[in-house]
Chain A
C-alpha cells in the first residue's frame, strides 16, 4: 500500500497530465518547503542534543565523498551520450540531493515507527553543494574564472542550508521541552504539509512529459538506473558508518535522489551552455517519481539486507 502522501503526488500528476486548471500559489509552495525544511532540522537538532558532535565529523567527510564519487561516475556515463556541458550539469544534479525525496523517506519511516539517526538532516545539508562544484569544474576546468566566493556563499547561506542547519541549531538549543510549543506546527502538521507539497510536485512533474517524449528512452533508462546504482553505494556507505537500517535507508535515498532546486539554478548561471530541460526532465520526470513510488520501499529492503551484514 502506498503512503497517503504519495497518493497526493499521484493526484497532482494526474491533474497535470489531464491539463487541469489546478494550480498552487508560488507562495504556498515556498511556505510549505520552509515548514518541511525547518521541521526536518528541528527534529534532527533535538536528537543531536543527546549525543556528542565530534564523532560526526568523519561521517560528514564520508557522505560528502559519496556525493562527489556519484557525480564523477554519472559524468562519465553521461559523457558517452551528451556534450560536455550537458553531461557535467546533469551529473551535478544526480550527485546532489533532493529534500522532497528525503522528506518522503522520513515520512515512510515515521509511519512505520522506524527510528533513524538524528544526524541524517546534516548529511542532507552537506551533500547538496559539493556535487555542484564538481559539476562546474568538470564543465569548465579548474582555472576558468569561477566565482568561488559566490559559490562558497551559496554553499553556506543557500535557502535550504540556512533553514536546515538553522532548524537544527534551534532544536539543539531548545531541546524537547523548549520545542513543545511549536510542535503542533512542525511535527503534527508535517504529514499534511508534505501532502500538499507533493500535490504541487505532481503538477511540476507532469510538465516534464513533453521533454521526455522528445528525448525518449535514454533519459528514462538513466533516470532509473542511476538511482539504483547510487543506492548500492549509499547503502554500503551507511553500513560503513554503522547506521541503523532506518538511517541507512535515508542515506541510500539521499544518494539515489537528484536535486531539482539548488543545482538547476546554480548550473544555469555557471554552465549556461547546458540545456536545463534535459536535466529537469530526467530528475523530475523520471527519478523523483521513481524514488518516491518504488525506490524508498526498495531502499529500506536493501538497507535491511545491508544492516544484516554488519558484524
Chain B
C-alpha cells in the first residue's frame, strides 16, 4: 500500500495580467513548484472571460506545507486583495513523495 502524507494546497484564481508578478512572489517566498491554468468564471467583478487578454483569469495551484501556505495567503491578502480580482483558498491534500512539497 502507498503511504501518503498530508500537505496543503493553495488555489489562487486571479487576473492573468499579474501572473508574472505573482509567480515571482511565490518563488521568493520559497515555493518549490506550482501549476498555472487558464480559467474563466463569474464573480463580484463580473464575468471574467479567458477569451480576451484584458479580462482573462488564471488559476494557480501550489502544494506545500501548511505553514508556508498560510504565509502565502497572508502575503496575497496584504499585497493583492485590495486592488485585484482575486479568490484564494486552502485545502488539505494527501501526496506521495512528500519531499517534493
Contacts and interface: CB of A to CB of B under 8 A. Distances in A.
B4 interface: no
Nearest to A276: B54
B19 to A, nearest CB: 10
Contacts of B82: 272-273
B1 interface: no
Contact of A264 (B18, B21, B50, B54): B54
B84 A204 contact: no
B18 A269 contact: yes
B24 to A, nearest CB: 11
Instruction: Please report whether the interface of chain A is mostly helix, strand, loop or mixed according to DSSP.
Output: helix
A111 interface: no
A213 interface: no
Interface residues of A, number: 19
Interface centre among B17, B50, B55 (most CB of A within 10 A): B17
Given A210-B46, A272-B83, A272-B84, A26 B17 contact: no
Interface string B32-47: 0000000000000010
Contacts of A26: 50-53
A207 B53 CA distance: 13
Contacts, number: 35
B21 A23 contact: no
Contact of A269 (B17, B49, B52, B55): B17
Interface string A252-276: 0000000011001100110011001
Interface in B62-92: 82-84
B18 A204 contact: no
B79 to A, nearest CB: 9
Contacts of B52: 26, 29, 204, 207
Contact of B51 (A23, A261, A264, A280): A23
Interface of B: 15, 17-18, 21, 46, 49-55, 82-84
Interface of A: 23-26, 29, 204, 207, 210, 260-261, 264-265, 268-269, 272-273, 276-277, 280
